């Protein structure tokens, strides 16, 4: 299991499905003028679409006018986190919590940041607080489960993923994370079943390949990636993983340059 230590950090980037943007909420009324409300809605839309460079000036301009808006600090924190500006992101998210200590979305966002930084005990506390404040949000249970998965607490992680799936049966990330939790304990049948519910056949095969990589079986991983590419030529996750496994693999198994 020595290679598992090498691949778990990669798993955090490749498989978590952690929400990058806070959930949609009613747009808070920051001012009476329609222009301000319109800019806020635009900023929220851009963050949801992960267009962070365009969202940033909207958020900074709005915060200059409304420095005590917890929602704006939360959105800016998410943008900075996703751009990799972690210290500034943490400051914004903590400011959001100072202004609204019961803001579940801010606790969840801070948990995602702490997970990225491998501060897993801190991340777990944030995710548990988010779940406590908003127990009906499936994504928060999934994020908590992923944090537990990284700590190799597979049984606890599966319970969180199961609750996420119960709340939202369409949450693919929870099925995929559930599959990894089974696979890392050697239950391949349950892993395949979960992966098959998490998306397309190509995605399931890519996840199985990644699981084999984590086990230290690159030849088996390659077979899964190549099979995924035969089913869906050019499938980006399989192609990226295949190239990472073998940097010389510049073509898909169908022979087309990607």
Segment 236-253 shows an average pLDDT of 77
How many separate domains does the chain show? 2
* Predicted pLDDT at 12: 36
Mean pLDDT in residue range 163-176: 96
Q: Do residues 104 and 225 share a domain?
A: no
Last residue of a domain, one of 136, 159, 189: 189
Taking residues 172-196, what's their average pLDDT? 94
d(CA 141, CA 23): 14
What is the per-residue pLDDT for 31? 53
Q: Is the pLDDT of residue 184 over 60?
A: yes
pLDDT in tens, 67-122: 999 999 999 999 999 999 999 999 999 999 999 999 999 999 999 999 999 999 99
For residue 132, tell me if it sits in a domain.
yes
- Shared-domain flag, residues 31 and 141: yes
Burial letters for 74-99: b for 16+ Cβ neighbours within 10 Å, e otherwise?
A: bbbbbbbbbeeeeeebbebbebbbeb
> What is the pTM (predicted TM-score) of this model?
0.83
Same domain, 50 and 168: yes
User: Is position 56 within any domain?
Assistant: yes
Does 255 lie in the same domain as 156?
no
Q: Are residues 183 and 240 in the same domain?
A: no
Identify whether the C-beta of residue 139 lies closer than 8 Å to the C-beta of residue 164.
yes
pLDDT at residue 28, rounded to an integer: 52
pLDDT at 7 over 50: no
Q: Which of 138, 86, 76 is nearest to 116 (CA)?
A: 86
Domain that holds residue 214: 200-258
Look at residue 249 and tell me whether its pLDDT is greater than 60. no
**Structure confidence by residue, pLDDT tens digits, 9-19:** 334 334 444 55
Predicted local distance difference test score (pLDDT) of residue 9: 36
CATH of the domain at 213: 1.25.40
pLDDT value, residue 25: 58
DSSP state of 64: H
How confident is the model at residue 39, as a pLDDT?
86
The more confidently predicted of residues 252 and 90 is 90
- As a whole number of angstroms, the distance between CA 195 and CA 198 comes to 5
> What whole-number distance in Å separates Cα of residue 223 and Cα of residue 236?
16
Report the alpha-carbon distance of residue 42 to residue 208 in Å, rounded: 39
Q: What is the Cβ-side half-sphere exposure of residue 188, based on CA atoms within 13 angstroms? A: 7
Domain boundary among 143, 168, 189: 189
Shared domain for 136 and 168, answered yes or no, is yes
In a domain, 139, yes or no: yes
Whether 157 shows a pLDDT value over 60: the answer reads yes
Are 141 and 245 in the same domain?
A: no
Stretch among 21-25, 55-59, 78-82, 169-173 having the lowest mean pLDDT: 21-25
Residue 47 shares a structural domain with residue 164: yes
Q: 27 with 79, same domain?
A: yes
Residue 221 and residue 101 share a domain: no
Q: What does DSSP assign to residue 257?
A: B
Residues 62 and 168 in one domain: yes
Highest mean pLDDT among 2-6, 149-153, 246-250: 149-153
CATH number, domain containing residue 119: 1.25.40.10
Backbone torsions φ then ψ of 151, nearest 5 degrees: -90, 5
**pLDDT tier for residue 229 given thresholds of 50, 70 and 90:** very high
| Residue 79 vs residue 35, higher pLDDT | 79
Mean local confidence (pLDDT), 119-146: 98
Nearest to 178 by CA among 190, 169, 168, 166: 190
């Amino acid at each position: 299991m020595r290679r598992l230590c090498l691949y778990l950090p990669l798993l955090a980037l490749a498989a978590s499905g952690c929400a990058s943007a806070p959930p949609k909420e009613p747009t808070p009324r920051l001012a009476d003028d329609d222009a301000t409300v319109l800019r806020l809605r635009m900023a929220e839309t851009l963050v949801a679409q992960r267009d962070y460079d365009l969202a940033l000036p909207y958020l900074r301009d709005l915060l200059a006018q409304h420095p005590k808006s917890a929602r704006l600090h939360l959105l800016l924190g998410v943008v900075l986190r996703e751009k990799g500006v972690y210290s500034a992101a943490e400051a914004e998210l903590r400011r959001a919590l100072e202004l609204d200590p019961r803001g579940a979305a801010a606790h969840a966002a801070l948990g995602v940041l702490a997970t990225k930084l491998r501060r897993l005990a801190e991340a777990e506390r944030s995710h548990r607080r988010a779940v406590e404040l908003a127990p009906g949000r499936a994504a928060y249970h999934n994020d908590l489960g992923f944090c537990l998965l990284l700590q190799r607490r597979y049984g606890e992680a599966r319970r969180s993923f199961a609750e996420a799936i119960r709340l939202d049966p369409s949450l693919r990330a929870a099925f995929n994370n559930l599959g990894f939790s089974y696979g890392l304990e050697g239950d391949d049948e349950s892993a395949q079943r979960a992966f098959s519910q998490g998306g397309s056949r190509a995605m399931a095969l890519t996840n199985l390949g990644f699981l084999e990589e984590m086990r230290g079986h690159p030849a088996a991983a390659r077979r899964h990636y190549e099979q995924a590419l035969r089913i869906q030529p050019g499938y980006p996750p399989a192609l990226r993983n295949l190239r990472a496994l073998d940097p010389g693999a510049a073509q898909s198994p169908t022979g087309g340059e990607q």
